[in-house]
Structure 1
Amino acid sequence: MKSYRPTWKQDGRDEQQVSAVTYGLSAAEDYKARKESEGGVSDVEIVPVKPGRKPPTRRCQWRLVAS
């Protein structure tokens, strides 16, 4: 079975967002339709991935704010 991972662009974020979960094609298409209906989401794509491949890591950009 081929695996697919949805990706999308979220308003207010510079990096392409990547699903942490892989799906079969029909489930990935359902996920894409749900994502496209959300506000602030664009450029939704379904990307084929090799089984067992992890999504690209995103650097955490935490900022400490003095209280």
Structure 2
Amino acid sequence: MATTMQNYGLRWIDSEGSPHVSVAAYDWKSADHRRGALRAAKCDPVEIVETRPGQRLEPLGGSE
């Protein structure tokens, strides 16, 4: 049985109000772990977004 790899990216706003996006592709477990670390660093909101290979995310507040 073939397993399909699904990629996820993150986008968030840091504690100073600046929007950011991840440049790495994560699996779900790793993305969720990174989201926890960002929330612990007082980043809010933090979104996990399903991505395709090569897709670049727009920061929160940008055009989608």
- TM-score clears 0.5: yes
Q: Identity across aligned pairs (percent)?
A: 24
CA RMSD of aligned residues (A): 1.8
Alignment partners' CA distance in 2, 1:23 and 1:7: 12
Q: What is aligned with 1:47? A: 49
Q: How far 1:50 sits from its partner (Å)?
A: 0.6
Alignment equivalent of 2:13, drawn from 3, 9, 12: 9
Q: Deviations over 1:19-43 (max 9, x none)?
A: 111100110000000100003x110
Normalising by structure 2, report the TM-score. 0.72
Alignment partners' CA distance in 1, 2:8 and 2:14: 19
Q: What is aligned with 1:61? A: none
Normalising by structure 1, report the TM-score. 0.69
- Alignment length, in residue pairs? 55
Relative CO higher for 1 or 2, CA cutoff 8 Å, sep ≥ 6?
2
Q: What is aligned with 2:23? A: 20
Q: How far 1:5 sits from its partner (Å)?
A: 0.3
Q: Which has the larger radius of gyration?
A: 1
Alignment partners' CA distance in 2, 1:47 and 1:6: 6
